[in-house]
Amino acid sequence: MNITANRVDDANLIIGGTITQESINPEIDKLAKQASKELNIDGFRKGKAPVSVVKKLHADKLKEDAKSGLINNLIDNGLKEANIAPSDILGEPRFSKYDEKDGNIDVEVEISVRPNVDVDGYEDIIPTYEKPEVTEAEIQERLAKLANEQAPFEAIAKPRKVENGDMTVIDFEGFLNDEPFDGGKGEKMNLKIGSGQFIPGFESQLIGMEYGEEKTIDITFPAEYQSKDLAGQKTKFVVKLHEIQSQKEGTVDDELAKKVLQDEENGTLELLKEKVTAQIETGKISKLYNEDLKPKLIEALVSKIDFALPKNIVEQEIDARVNAKAKDMSEEEINALKEDTSKVEELRDAVKDEAKDSVKATFIVDTLAKIKNITVDDKEVSQALYYEAMIQGQNPQDLVKYYEDNNLLPAVKMGMIEDKLFGNLLGIEG
C-alpha cells in the first residue's frame, strides 16, 4: 500500500493512500477466522463454526470492519512517516476523499495536530493600567449602607397603606384547587416589599393594603419552581397585614464594626474601614479587568502571536457557534436554513473569524499557562461552582452534576486558568 503524508502547515496534514481489494480479502479472512472462535452459530458448537459459514452470515460487517482496520493502519503508518506522535493528534480525523471503485478505495484523511505556539515577546504587549483609587466618600457611603442594613426595624408611628420598600408583618396561607398545600402557610412573617424574597407577583399585590386588612391574591408559580407539584400552577393566597415597619437610620461606630466583623477578635471601626476599602478596591479592579484589561489583552495576544490552527478544532468551534445561534432562531428561520444550504454556509462564514480567534486564544493561553506554571485543580473548580451555586441560590450538588452531565467542567477549568494567568501577567492579585 502506497502511503503519502503531506504537511499542509504546522498544524494540519493529509494522509493518503489506496486500499486495494487484494489487501481487503486477507483482512476479511483474518477477521472471519477470529470470529469463528467466538461466535455462537446455530448448528455448531461455540468456536467450531467453519470460517466459510461465518463469512457468509456476516459478509457485510466483515468487509466494513476490514476496511476500517486498513484505514486505521494507513493513518498509523502515515503518522509514523510524518514523525507525529499519536498524543499530538487533536480531535477526530476527517475524510477529505473516499472513492470506492473496482474494489479499491482511494483515501485522503485530514489530521490536525497540536501546533507549535511561539509566544516570544508576549511581555511587550501586556497592557498597562493605573491602580484604581478609593475615595473617602466611597468608603463613607459603603459604611453608611452597612449601618442601615444592620439597623433595627420599628413599627411606624402612624398607620398607613403599604408602599414599595416597606417591611411588613403578615400572615398568609396558600391554596391549590381550594386546598391548602404544604409549606404554603406562615404567621407573623417579616416581608420587605420589593425584596424579591417571595414568589414573583406576591409582594407587588400587597402594596396598598391597610392595617388589619385581609386580602386574597392570585399567584402562578414559575414553571421551573423546585416543587413539581406547584411548578406552573395557579394558586390563591389569603394574606393578613398586621404591621408596617420602618428601619431606623444606622450609626457608623465600633458597635457596627463588631456586628459586621463577627469573626474578628477585635472588631473596630478602623478595621472595618480597612476591610471596606479593600472590598471597594477589589470591586474596581475586577470591573477594570473584566471590562477593559482582559479584552485588550486577549486582542493583543491574538493579534501579535501567529501560528497555524488545527482545522478540525476550528470547524468544531464554528459548529458550536452556529448551534448557539440556532437556539435563538425561530422555527421559520430554522426551516429556511434546512431548505437552503447556502444560508448555512453564510452563517458559518459569519462566525468563522470569531471562531478562529477563540481557538487561537485557547492555544496561546495553554502555552503561556505552562510557561508561567499556572494550574487549576479539580478542588478549585468544585469550590468555584459551589460559590456560584450559593450566589444563585441553587443546590451545589445539582449545579456540579449539571456541569458534569453536559461536559462543561473542562470549559470552567480553562476559564479559571485563563483568569489566573491574566491576573499574573497584569500583576493583579487574587
- Whether the per-residue pLDDT at 119 is higher than 80: the answer is yes
Domain presence at residue 140: no
Domain presence at residue 128: no
pLDDT average, residue stretch 316-338: 88
Q: Please, which residues have CB within 8 angstroms of residue 271's CB and are 6 or more apart in sequence? A: 257, 261, 264
Among residues 33, 102, 32, 104, which one has the least CA distance to residue 71? 104
CA atoms within 13 A on the CB side of 186: 15
Among residues 198, 207, 212, which one has the least CA distance to residue 166? 207
Residues 334 and 410 in one domain: yes
Domain termination residue (choose one: 54, 83, 113): 113
List % helix, strand, coil for the chain (3-state, nearest 5).
50, 20, 30
Q: Report which of residues 126 and 266 the model is more confident about.
A: 126
Residues 314 and 418 in one domain: yes
Q: What angle do CA 278, 281, 282 make, to 5 degrees?
A: 85
The rounded distance, in Å, linking the Cα atoms of 170 and 308 is 66
Inter-residue contact 392 to 340 (CB < 8 Å): no
CA atoms within 13 A on the CB side of 64: 3
pLDDT average, residue stretch 166-184: 92
- Whether the per-residue pLDDT at 430 is higher than 60: the answer is no
The rounded distance, in Å, linking the Cα atoms of 260 and 268 is 10
Residues 235 and 176 in one domain: yes
Domain that holds residue 183: 153-247
- H helices of 151-205, in order, are none
Q: Please, which residues have CB within 8 angstroms of residue 353's CB and are 6 or more apart in sequence? A: none
Q: Provide the strand spans (E) within 33-163.
A: 89-101, 104-113, 153-155
Q: Which helix (H) or strand (E) holds 304?
A: helix 294-304
CATH number of the domain to which 55 belongs: 3.30.70.1050
Residues 313 and 421 in one domain: yes
pLDDT reported for residue 173? 95
Inter-residue contact 205 to 213 (CB < 8 Å): no
Residue 46's pLDDT band (cuts 50, 70, 90): confident
Residues 332 and 241 in one domain: no
Inter-residue contact 79 to 111 (CB < 8 Å): yes
Residues 108 and 160 in one domain: no
Residues 405 and 330 in one domain: yes
The rounded distance, in Å, linking the Cα atoms of 320 and 193 is 43
Grouping H, G, I as helix, E, B as strand and the rest as coil, residue 214 is strand
Share of the chain above pLDDT 70, in %: 99
Least confident stretch, 15-24, 169-178, 200-209: 15-24
pLDDT reported for residue 294? 95
Q: Report which of residues 424 and 55 the model is more confident about.
A: 424
Find the distance separating the first CA and the last CA of the chain, reported in whole Å: 58
Q: Please, which residues have CB within 8 angstroms of residue 62's CB and are 6 or more apart in sequence? A: 28, 31, 32, 35, 54, 55
Inter-residue contact 207 to 164 (CB < 8 Å): yes
pLDDT reported for residue 120? 93
Domain presence at residue 138: no
Share of the chain above pLDDT 90, in %: 51
Q: Report which of residues 313 and 42 the model is more confident about.
A: 313
The gap from C-alpha 27 to its chain's centroid, in whole angstroms, comes to 45
Domain presence at residue 146: no
- Whether the per-residue pLDDT at 326 is higher than 90: the answer is no
Domain termination residue (choose one: 247, 281, 314): 247
Residues 45 and 102 in one domain: yes
Residue 1's pLDDT band (cuts 50, 70, 90): low
Domain presence at residue 277: no
Domain count, the chain: 3
Residues 157 and 98 in one domain: no
- Whether the per-residue pLDDT at 87 is higher than 60: the answer is yes
Residue 111's pLDDT band (cuts 50, 70, 90): very high
Residues 215 and 324 in one domain: no
pLDDT average, residue stretch 171-184: 92
**Look-up of cell digits 426551516:** 335
Domain presence at residue 124: no
Residues paired with residue 18 on neighbouring β-strands, in sequence order: 106
CATH number of the domain to which 367 belongs: 1.10.3120.10
Mean pLDDT over the full length of the chain? 89
pLDDT reported for residue 337? 84
pLDDT reported for residue 203? 94
- Whether the per-residue pLDDT at 320 is higher than 80: the answer is yes
Domain presence at residue 261: no
Residues 238 and 313 in one domain: no
Sign of the alpha-carbon torsion through 208, 211, 213, 216:
positive
Residue 283's identity, in one-letter code, is G
Largest CA-CA distance found in the chain, in angstroms, rounded: 101
Domain termination residue (choose one: 113, 140, 175): 113
pLDDT reported for residue 358? 95
Residues 404 and 315 in one domain: yes
pLDDT reported for residue 429? 67
pLDDT reported for residue 15? 92
Domain presence at residue 89: yes
